Structure 1
Amino acid sequence: MTRTQRRAAATRKAVVDAAREIIVSEGPAALTLEAVAERADVAVQTIYNRVGGRSALLTSVAELAMEENRAYMDAAYEAEGTSEERLLLAANAYVRFARERPHEFRILVDPPNDPETLDRIAALIEEQNAKLADVLRDAVAEGTTRTDLEPEQISTVLWATMNGLLALAWRADRLQTDADGLDGLLATYVGTITDGLRRRAEP
């Protein structure tokens, strides 16, 4: 890599880092090219040259968020224990990520309406859901999980339902749920789904 290429890469990283800092501290609504330019100490045109417009910035931050989410989830999937224990660890890791990085999590749940962004985030989510499906297959092989369920479908159901529950925290109406209320709902959901997945003893 030439000096010019290294300088361009460093500028791009500074721009994306600035965008991420704004989103983490103030939320996606605060992300403007002018705010990023000021924080990164570059011209607005430099942002266009190195990254692109606002959608491109959101995409870059979303990719970083997905990498962070992957770190949370992979630690659960790779942990010692039974498949059911790893599924519970994965659920806890997903909730922890949503709470520790709420603005980044929200981008993943409700990405910007840009075709490239949507395709990229969908691909990353599919990759993670495939890992969840693999754990479900392990549970079937262990004889602890029902064999009539399709792992890919169950992984999608688990992912989508968790997103729906966690999204209650940012509703603007009276259906908004505080942390304690959400804990109760999540515990009910995890308990119900875990019991529903278990293989029943033959009569």
Structure 2
Amino acid sequence: MLWRVPRRYSMDSRQGETVARRRRLLDAAIQVLGEVGADRLTMEAVAERADAATRTLYNHFSSRDELIAAALDLLLQEARDSLYLDTPAEVDPAERLRQFVRQVYGVYGQQADSLTILLDHRGDPKIGPQVTMMRESRREHLKEILKDPQTKLVLPVPEAAAIAFVLTSHETWTALVKESGLTQPAALGLVTATLDTVLFAHRPG
């Protein structure tokens, strides 16, 4: 008796291969974007990076603009997912802020290249508002932590939140790690110690 593979399984398998191939092509496009920018990206360079035929790339994306848009969409989705911020409300506000900084700096360390690409494309009408929304989400989360009644701040909440917002920005992480040469732990330690001192008057040691 011959066993036949169900047609449904065969279709699911092909769909899975298509999704995996598309993701591989997008990953290659993101790599090329990070190296040469959108202006110099070519379909041929992306296909070569993905070890695929240029024809295969055109089967998934009809144009260079469509490919770039899809790559940026993927980066936005991953950035939104990774920058979803959550710290337990029952923890002391100063410790909540430390946890927040560790979480954000951890994301920056893992997603540095992707976030840089997004920030480089803030002029794009689709990217700019999304980046602004992610920044606003971080700002509001900081305000939520710092306005806790248990918080004993040296500064009023708006000023404290503004300082925390600057020190937890991707730009500050870049300045400390990429430009000043600090290690990830050293940058994290510097920022948390600064916030402890400036916002809560906690002295190290």
TM-score, normalised to structure 2, is 0.65
Q: Is 1:68 matched up with 2:75?
A: no
Q: Is 1:177 matched up with 2:180?
A: yes
**Which residue matches 1:173?**
none
Within the candidate set 88, 105, 125, 1:115 is matched to 125
**Which residue matches 2:135?**
125
Equivalences, count: 179
The CA deviation string for residues 101-137 of structure 1, in whole angstroms up to 9 with x for no partner, is 3212323544453121111221133223322221111
Task: Letter of the 2:197 partner, please give it.
Answer: D
Within the candidate set 73, 90, 106, 1:59 is matched to 73
Equivalent positions of 1:125-164 (< 5 A) are: 125-138=135-148, 141-146=149-154, 148-150=156-158, 154-162=160-168, 163-164=170-171
**Which residue matches 1:198?**
200
The 1-side partners of 2:185 and 2:143 are apart by: 25
The 2-side partners of 1:124 and 1:160 are apart by: 14
Indicate if the aligned counterparts of 1:165 and 1:186 stay in contact, CA closer than 8 A. Answer: no
The 2-side partners of 1:157 and 1:19 are apart by: 37
Indicate if the aligned counterparts of 1:69 and 1:94 stay in contact, CA closer than 8 A. Answer: yes
Task: Letter of the 1:187 partner, please give it.
Answer: G
The 2-side partners of 1:26 and 1:34 are apart by: 11
Within the candidate set 166, 174, 197, 2:173 is matched to 166
Indicate if the aligned counterparts of 1:111 and 1:118 stay in contact, CA closer than 8 A. Answer: yes
Q: Which has the higher helix share?
A: 1
Q: CA deviation at 1:65?
A: 2.1
Cα RMSD for the two superposed structures: 3.8
Cα gap change, 1:65 to 1:21, in 2 (>3 Å)? farther
Larger Rg: 2
The CA deviation string for residues 156-192 of structure 1, in whole angstroms up to 9 with x for no partner, is 543333323321333xxxxx33343x64454333222
The 2-side partners of 1:48 and 1:177 are apart by: 42
Q: Secondary structure at 1:52's aligned position in 2?
A: helix
User: Could you list the runs of 5+ residues in structure 2 that have no partner in the other structure?
Assistant: 1-13
The 10-residue stretch of structure 1 (56-65 or 114-123) with the greater mean CA deviation from structure 2: 56-65
The 2-side partners of 1:137 and 1:18 are apart by: 45
User: Could you list the runs of 5+ residues in structure 1 that have no partner in the other structure?
Assistant: 1-6, 171-175
Indicate if the aligned counterparts of 1:146 and 1:197 stay in contact, CA closer than 8 A. Answer: yes
Cα gap change, 1:11 to 1:101, in 2 (>3 Å)? same
Q: Percent identity?
A: 16
Task: Letter of the 1:86 partner, please give it.
Answer: R
Indicate if the aligned counterparts of 1:19 and 1:57 stay in contact, CA closer than 8 A. Answer: yes
Cα gap change, 1:184 to 1:128, in 2 (>3 Å)? closer
Q: CA deviation at 1:199?
A: 7.3
Within the candidate set 162, 187, 190, 1:188 is matched to 190
The 2-side partners of 1:61 and 1:107 are apart by: 8
The 2-side partners of 1:130 and 1:40 are apart by: 43
The 1-side partners of 2:123 and 2:171 are apart by: 19
